[in-house]
Amino acid sequence: MSLWRLVRARTSVVWLLLVAATALSWKLSHGLGLAEPRDAGCAVLVVAFIKVRLVIMDFMEIRGAPLAMRLAGETWVLLMAAALIALYLGALQ
């Protein structure tokens, strides 16, 4: 397997997406477009968990894992994101 073949893979695309998402969440934290801090905060959390899901599905290869694990992974990402966003918004009351 040549070096190029090693690089030319799904994982590389995922890395680019992750870096882009990091830049996006940085911008969001500094107020990109979203005036209200609560919206910015929610957006940051959503992007963070999109990144987490990418790491779980593509780096940790849960996408191709037995369906029970896949379900558990997706569920955890969803529940955590929901719980943290709820707590974050709850604090802003």
Going 54 to 55 to 58 to 60, the CA torsion angle's sign is negative
For another protein, the closer CB: 1 or 33: 1
Interface residue with another protein among 35, 74, 78, 80 (CB under 8 A) is 80
The one-letter amino acid at 69: M
Burial of 28 (0-12, 13-18, 19+ CB in 10 A): buried
Interface residue with another protein among 4, 5, 74, 75 (CB under 8 A) is 5
3 is a contact residue toward another protein (CB under 8 A): yes
Report the 3 state secondary structure along 51-87.
HHHHHHHHHCCHHHCCHHHHHHHHHHHHHHHHHHHHH
Residues that bind another protein (CB under 8 A): 1, 3, 5-7, 9, 11-12, 14-15, 18-19, 22, 25-26, 28-29, 31, 37, 40-41, 44-45, 47-49, 51-52, 55-56, 58-62, 64-67, 69, 72, 76, 80, 83-84, 87-88, 90-92
